[in-house]
């Protein structure tokens, strides 16, 4: 029995409190609660919902409404708290920002939103949603602007007529080819510290005092999650640059492989994304792929750069780069066993024919399997000292033969083929 059924049975009355994801509904031409940007019609009733909702419960509500039960949408403040609480601070910054902005647009029933962070003398857009997305993030916004006024005043503010408002910074509109008609915004707070501004843009009938209060509450609730993700992203970017610097220095020992680590990282992340890895796992996979060949720093140039065929002894030395890599990574702070596994196991094969330990099947980590496929694909499709780049059809045929021999997972191979087809369509 649903939660709604339980509440109805307990109450024995004709009024039921709706779950917090129901913003409002229209039944028999009468609106109860509030409209949101996300709606769906069931049995002639228009429901306005927030975030994750249950169609099963909506079906139950339809039945109760038609039986004369009054379903009361929860208070707006409860809805805001619900939406803010379910935001995932483990998301990468871009995804968290888009989720924040999509949710506030849905609650307030507006068309766009943006978040700006304070950077001393100005505010800077992070990520935007709606029609302006991707067009204004690089523009510094002066403190004399509307966003600057909201930040300096330290309170939520509404501007419903921007046509003749000198504080409206029109440089953003010109860059985005977007016309801002009205704005409601609020400082973003972490305890007593202002860290930025959230702006919600363009509501057809104009923003109300209730909208202003809603945005103010939402901004206060999201501050800590946003600041945590922003700081982590800045650290992550710096860390990635260090890793890329190390990988590039190693790759550049051979002019033919100087892009190899970047390429393998791109293929690996795309494989992981299509296989449903979350953002945290994708970030670790990217780090692991960037550094998968870091152990080559311990291989002499006379062997690593040899143009001819390697002797059996030289090949054994080359194979040691996986072990060297895992040893190097194991002493780096913030590098965990998942990241190390990619460097150690990307030459292992499911049939046990790989190295360094001849692991089989599930003994090989997910990162080792993903990076292994990506590594072979880039090695075959790129020019090297000992060969020209292969045609993609021949590369895929070679890997498919290895799949048939049991060296690679057919699931990984099918996913790789999908990625290659998508790239070819874009060329």
160: domain CATH number is 3.30.450.40
Task: Determine the average pLDDT of the residues in 269-298.
Answer: 91
For residue 135 the two structure tokens come to: 């067009």
User: Which of 25, 64, 67 has its CA nearest to residue 45?
Assistant: 25
Considering the domain architecture, whether residues 274 and 209 belong to the same structural domain is answered as no
Task: Kindly state whether residue 420 falls inside one of the protein's structural domains.
Answer: yes
Report CA-CA distances (Å) from 222 to 189, 297, 362: 8, 44, 41
- CATH number assigned to the domain comprising residue 261: 1.10.3210.10
Considering the domain architecture, whether residues 381 and 403 belong to the same structural domain is answered as yes
Task: Kindly state whether residue 235 falls inside one of the protein's structural domains.
Answer: no
Task: Kindly state whether residue 238 falls inside one of the protein's structural domains.
Answer: no
Q: Is the pLDDT of residue 409 over 90?
A: yes
Considering the domain architecture, whether residues 277 and 187 belong to the same structural domain is answered as no
Considering the domain architecture, whether residues 119 and 263 belong to the same structural domain is answered as no
For residue 29 the two structure tokens come to: 């031409």
pLDDT cut 90: percent of the chain above it: 41
Q: 223-227, 310-314, 316-320, 349-353 — which is least confidently predicted?
A: 223-227
Question: What backbone torsions phi and psi does residue 207 show, to the nearest 5 degrees?
Answer: -80, 145
State pLDDT tens for residues 112-156.
888 888 988 889 887 555 555 556 666 788 898 999 999 999 999
pLDDT band at 65, cuts 50/70/90? very high
Task: Kindly state whether residue 242 falls inside one of the protein's structural domains.
Answer: no
Task: Kindly state whether residue 102 falls inside one of the protein's structural domains.
Answer: yes
Task: Kindly state whether residue 240 falls inside one of the protein's structural domains.
Answer: no
Considering the domain architecture, whether residues 264 and 213 belong to the same structural domain is answered as no
Number of residues that make up the chain: 427
Considering the domain architecture, whether residues 112 and 95 belong to the same structural domain is answered as yes
pLDDT band at 8, cuts 50/70/90? very low
Report CA-CA distances (Å) from 312 to 219, 303, 305, 351, 375: 64, 11, 16, 21, 22
Say what the pLDDT of residue 2 is. Answer: 47
Considering the domain architecture, whether residues 222 and 347 belong to the same structural domain is answered as no
Task: Kindly state whether residue 13 falls inside one of the protein's structural domains.
Answer: yes
Instruction: Give the angle subtended at the CA of 315 by the CAs of 309 and 320, to the nearest 5°.
Output: 150
Q: Is the pLDDT of residue 306 over 90?
A: no
pLDDT band at 239, cuts 50/70/90? confident
Q: Of 73, 96, 122, which one is at a domain's C-terminal end?
A: 73
Say what the pLDDT of residue 427 is. Answer: 58
pTM for the predicted model, two decimal places: 0.57
Considering the domain architecture, whether residues 38 and 169 belong to the same structural domain is answered as no
Structural domain of 303: 252-426
pLDDT cut 70: percent of the chain above it: 88
3 state SS of 219: helix
Task: Kindly state whether residue 246 falls inside one of the protein's structural domains.
Answer: no
Question: In 86-208, where does DSSP find H-type helix?
Answer: 93-108, 146-153, 170-176
Say what the pLDDT of residue 48 is. Answer: 92
Say what the pLDDT of residue 172 is. Answer: 66
Q: Is the pLDDT of residue 3 over 60?
A: no
The rounded distance, in Å, linking the Cα atoms of 160 and 144 is: 18
Report CA-CA distances (Å) from 278 to 95, 150, 283, 414: 11, 35, 9, 20
Report CA-CA distances (Å) from 305 to 178, 250, 252, 263, 374: 54, 12, 11, 20, 22
- Mean pLDDT (the chain) is 84
pLDDT band at 297, cuts 50/70/90? confident
Say what the pLDDT of residue 134 is. Answer: 59
Q: 78-87, 92-101, 209-218, 247-256 — which is least confidently predicted?
A: 247-256
The rounded distance, in Å, linking the Cα atoms of 39 and 300 is: 64
Report CA-CA distances (Å) from 63 to 23, 31, 321, 375: 18, 17, 66, 57
Alpha-carbon dihedral sign for residues 238, 244, 250, 254: negative
Considering the domain architecture, whether residues 47 and 89 belong to the same structural domain is answered as no
User: Which of 128, 151, 153, 125 has its CA nearest to residue 139?
Assistant: 125
Task: Determine the average pLDDT of the residues in 336-341.
Answer: 93
Considering the domain architecture, whether residues 298 and 332 belong to the same structural domain is answered as yes
Q: Of 73, 101, 117, which one is at a domain's C-terminal end?
A: 73
Between 357 and 92, name the one with better pLDDT: 357
pLDDT band at 1, cuts 50/70/90? very low
Considering the domain architecture, whether residues 26 and 158 belong to the same structural domain is answered as no
Counting the structural domains of the chain, the total is 3
State pLDDT tens for residues 14-25.
778 888 889 899
State pLDDT tens for residues 384-400.
666 678 889 999 999 99
- Residue whose tokens read 């927030």: 50
Task: Determine the average pLDDT of the residues in 81-98.
Answer: 70
Q: Of 51, 73, 95, which one is at a domain's C-terminal end?
A: 73
Say what the pLDDT of residue 366 is. Answer: 97
Considering the domain architecture, whether residues 210 and 123 belong to the same structural domain is answered as yes
pLDDT band at 30, cuts 50/70/90? very high
């Amino acid at each position: 029995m649903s939660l709604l059924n339980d509440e109805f049975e307990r109450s024995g009355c004709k009024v039921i409190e709706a779950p917090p994801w129901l913003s409002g509904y229209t039944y028999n031409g009468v609106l109860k609660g509030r409209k949101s940007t996300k709606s769906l019609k069931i049995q002639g009733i228009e429901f306005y919902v927030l975030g994750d909702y249950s169609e099963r419960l909506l079906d139950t509500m339809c039945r109760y409404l038609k039986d004369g039960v009054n379903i009361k949408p929860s208070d707006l403040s409860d809805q805001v708290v619900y939406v803010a609480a379910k935001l995932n601070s483990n998301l990468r910054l871009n995804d968290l920002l888009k989720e924040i902005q999509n949710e506030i647009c849905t609650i307030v029933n507006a068309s766009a939103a943006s978040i700006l962070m304070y950077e001393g003398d100005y505010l800077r857009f992070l990520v935007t949603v709606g029609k302006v997305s991707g067009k204004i993030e690089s523009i510094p916004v002066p403190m004399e602007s509307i966003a600057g006024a909201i930040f300096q005043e330290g309170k939520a503010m509404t501007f419903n007529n921007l046509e003749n408002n000198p504080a409206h910074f029109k440089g953003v509109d010109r860059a985005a080819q977007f016309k801002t008609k009205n704005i409601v915004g609020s400082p973003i707070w972490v305890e007593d510290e202002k860290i930025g501004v959230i702006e919600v843009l363009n509501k057809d009938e104009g923003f109300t005092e209730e909208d202003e209060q809603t945005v103010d509450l939402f901004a206060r609730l999201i501050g800590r999650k946003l600041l945590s993700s922003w700081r982590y992203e800045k650290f992550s970017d710096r860390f990635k640059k260090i890793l890329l610097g190390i990988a590039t220095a190693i790759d550049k020992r051979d002019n033919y492989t100087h892009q190899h680590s970047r390429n393998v990282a791109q293929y690996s992340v795309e494989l992981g994304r299509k296989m449903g890895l979350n953002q945290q796992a994708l970030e670790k996979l990217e780090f692991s792929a960037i550094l998968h060949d870091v152990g080559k720093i311990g291989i002499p140039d006379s062997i690593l750069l040899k143009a001819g065929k390697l002797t059996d002894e030289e090949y054994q030395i080359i194979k040691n780069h996986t072990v060297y890599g895992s040893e190097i990574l194991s002493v780096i702070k913030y590098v965990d066993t998942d990241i190390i596994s990619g460097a150690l196991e990307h030459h292992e094969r499911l049939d046990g024919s790989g190295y360094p330990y001849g692991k089989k099947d599930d003994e090989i980590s997910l990162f080792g399997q993903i990076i292994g496929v990506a590594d072979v694909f880039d090695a075959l499709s790129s020019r090297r000292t000992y060969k020209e780049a292969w045609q993609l059809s021949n590369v895929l045929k070679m890997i498919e033969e290895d799949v048939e021999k049991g060296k690679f997972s057919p699931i990984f191979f099918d996913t790789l083929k999908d990625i290659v087809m998508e790239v070819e369509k874009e060329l």
